[in-house]
Amino acid sequence: MKQPCFIGIDLGTSGCRGICIDDVGRLLASASRPLPPSRHPQDGWSEQHPGDWWSATLEVLQELQVRTPNHQAQALSADGTSGTLVLTNRQGQPLGPGLMYDDRRATAEAELLTRLAPDQAVLHSPSSSLAKLLWLHQHEGLVPGALALHQSEWISGQLCDTGGVGDENNCLKLGYDPVQQCWPTWLNELPLPHSLFPGVLAVGMPLGRISPEITAATGLPSQCQVITGTTDSTAAALAAGLEQPGDALTSLGSTLVCKILVDQPLQSAQYGIYSHRIFGRWLAGGASNSGGAVLRQHFSDPEIRELSRNLNPERSLCLEYYPLPGPGERFPINDPGMPPRLHPVPKDKARFLQGILEGIGRIEVLAYRKLESLGAGYPVRVSTSGGGATNAYWEKLRQRLLKRPVRIAAHPQPAYGAASVARRGAYREG
């Protein structure tokens, strides 16, 4: 008899990855397909073709099916880049390109939203899907009956032929209120028809069985359920193993992102802090402009690896750096004009690197203290993901500064988090 398995699909910027896990969360198989690079038809624009997301998803599902001959998929769930928007008709056909999370065209619309919804930090950037939707309305006009969906919501709808249903995490950037669990009434002040906004379900809810066409195209069993998904960063937090309040995840990528699982939602427009509801708890956090982008300005990755080997995590240089790639910081210090603090520069490159890594480590402590001051509590333990997570020196240093155990994320791939959403969703239904 075939054993049950669960599939997660992660739609990233450069590729689509799928992961299959068994019913205790063991990794069974993974597969990936690259996506064509985003197009930039104008300065600040960033677009992809939804058809490319779709064909990559189908190929990944086919390969996972071939790689797990002794298992039978019970459920699948998808996550996608947060804030990536596609307009569709009621049959789910895209009406234009996908506007990617990093598309910056909707600056005027973001300003309007800052005035209209001053408390909703998540909407104050051109990367919010609501700002993008306003831009599309203003510049392209909207077809009657159009529906606004995020990347993974669209994929999920296609897989089970349900048209468009949103999930609470993705829809946060479209203005959804996850506390009241509704679209807020202030949205009526915008020149957008209410019919544009999809119905919204919590993360991990059954949407429907995969359609017969998908069974035929991928070989997946017809009883496989599609489960509502989430954003890429929430999927990454689930993959990292965050389960209990106080579990935190620091992402050491180009930027420094700190998230913590809490019982009550936190938000602060001033510091760009917001919360995603996930399985009855809240994932709260914010992003600093500091992070690996500063390291890249001065060091290659092999250089960082080599130089870090001889650094002593027990002794600090106390150079008091605040490393930023350019002026301006939002979290944990809100100062749009804040200059990078990277002086004095020691002659020895290893000491310079150490100063930067210490500086980013101190910002991480400040970030968790800021979240604590807003009611999050201080982390109990901290998982780490991103390019900086593998640096053993940095891990020990951060552990000393944070005064908490620090470990590498249990699974680095958001697709693993999406698979765990599928597993929870399948058992919830049962």
Contact positions toward ligand ADP, by CB under 6 A?
253-254, 292-293, 295-296, 301, 304-305, 386-388, 390-391, 394
CB of 322 to ligand ADP, least distance (A): 17
Q: Could you give the strand order of the β-sheet that contains 281-288, starting from the edge strand earlier in sequence?
A: 274-278, 281-288, 256-262, 247-252, 381-385, 406-408
Query: Phi, psi (5° rounding) for residue 268?
Result: -155, 110
Contacts 24+ apart (CB under 8 A), 304-310: 304/353, 304/391, 305/391, 307/349, 307/350, 307/353, 308/353, 308/357, 308/391, 308/392, 308/393, 308/394, 309/393, 310/350
Nearer to ligand ADP among residue 284 and residue 360 (C-beta) = 360
Query: Phi, psi (5° rounding) for residue 387?
Result: -60, -30
Helices 392-402, 301-308: axis angle to 10 degrees equals: 70
CB of 161 to ligand ADP, least distance (A): 33
CB of 246 to ligand ADP, least distance (A): 24
Nearer to ligand ADP among residue 57 and residue 391 (C-beta) = 391
CB of 60 to ligand ADP, least distance (A): 20
Nearer to ligand ADP among residue 144 and residue 302 (C-beta) = 302
* AA letter at 120: Q
Nearer to ligand ADP among residue 33 and residue 298 (C-beta) = 298
Nearer to ligand ADP among residue 25 and residue 253 (C-beta) = 253
Q: Pick from 99, 170, 95: which is nearest to 132 by CA?
A: 99
User: Apex CA 13: angle with CA 7 and CA 14, to 5°?
Assistant: 85
Nearer to ligand ADP among residue 210 and residue 252 (C-beta) = 252
CB of 295 to ligand ADP, least distance (A): 4
**C-alpha–C-alpha distance, residues 122 and 307, integer Å:** 38
Q: Within 13 Å and on the Cβ side, how many CA atoms surround 215? A: 15
Query: Phi, psi (5° rounding) for residue 355?
Result: -60, -40
CB of 189 to ligand ADP, least distance (A): 35
**C-alpha–C-alpha distance, residues 13 and 421, integer Å:** 21
Nearer to ligand ADP among residue 55 and residue 255 (C-beta) = 255
Q: Are strands 71-80 and 225-231 parallel, antiparallel or unpaired?
A: parallel
CB of 127 to ligand ADP, least distance (A): 14
Nearer to ligand ADP among residue 204 and residue 414 (C-beta) = 414
- Contacts of 343 by beta carbon, 8 Å cutoff, 6+ apart: none
* 28, containing H or E segment: strand 27-34
CB of 293 to ligand ADP, least distance (A): 5
CB of 356 to ligand ADP, least distance (A): 9
> With contact defined as beta carbons under 8 Å apart, do 68 and 124 qualify?
no
> With contact defined as beta carbons under 8 Å apart, do 321 and 295 qualify?
no
- The token duo for 358 is 């210490």
CB of 383 to ligand ADP, least distance (A): 14
Nearer to ligand ADP among residue 192 and residue 252 (C-beta) = 252
Nearer to ligand ADP among residue 31 and residue 256 (C-beta) = 256
Query: What is the three-class DSSP state of 355?
Result: helix
